[in-house]
């Protein structure tokens, strides 16, 4: 049952919708392409904002990974985990 009667641009995304988009964005190459397309040209405002926030988190994770890699901390963590 759908009780939303506002503009289509602001239609809320369901919980399963968010779950499905996270799975889609998690696919290595296809997900990145979909993420960029949705963050730029999605007609639904909620989907566009979700894609932009997911993209920001992805960028922050890559920067954190590169900082750990450059500082050598990543090698120390991996060395401590291997038995």
pLDDT (tens digit, 0 to 9) for every residue of the chain, 83 residues total?
A: 578 888 989 999 999 999 999 999 999 999 999 999 999 999 999 999 999 999 999 999 999 989 888 888 877 888 888 76
Q: Is there a contact between 65 and 74 (Cβ–Cβ < 8 Å)?
A: yes
Q: Does residue 42 sit within a domain?
A: yes
- Count up the domains in the chain and report the number: 1
Structural domain range at position 38: 11-81
Q: Does residue 4 sit within a domain?
A: no
| Residue partners of 52: CB distance under 8 A and separation at least 6 | 39
Q: Does residue 1 sit within a domain?
A: no
Q: Does residue 3 sit within a domain?
A: no
Q: Does residue 15 sit within a domain?
A: yes
Q: Does residue 70 sit within a domain?
A: yes
The pTM (predicted TM-score) of the whole model is 0.82
Q: Does residue 27 sit within a domain?
A: yes
């Amino acid at each position: 049952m759908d009780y939303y009667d506002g503009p289509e641009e602001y239609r809320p995304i369901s919980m399963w919708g968010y779950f499905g988009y996270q799975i889609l964005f998690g696919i290595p190459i296809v997900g990145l392409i979909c993420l960029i397309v949705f963050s730029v040209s999605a007609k639904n405002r909620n989907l566009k904002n979700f894609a932009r926030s997911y993209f920001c988190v992805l960028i922050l994770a890559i920067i954190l990974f590169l900082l750990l890699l450059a500082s050598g901390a990543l090698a120390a963590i991996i060395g401590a985990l291997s038995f």
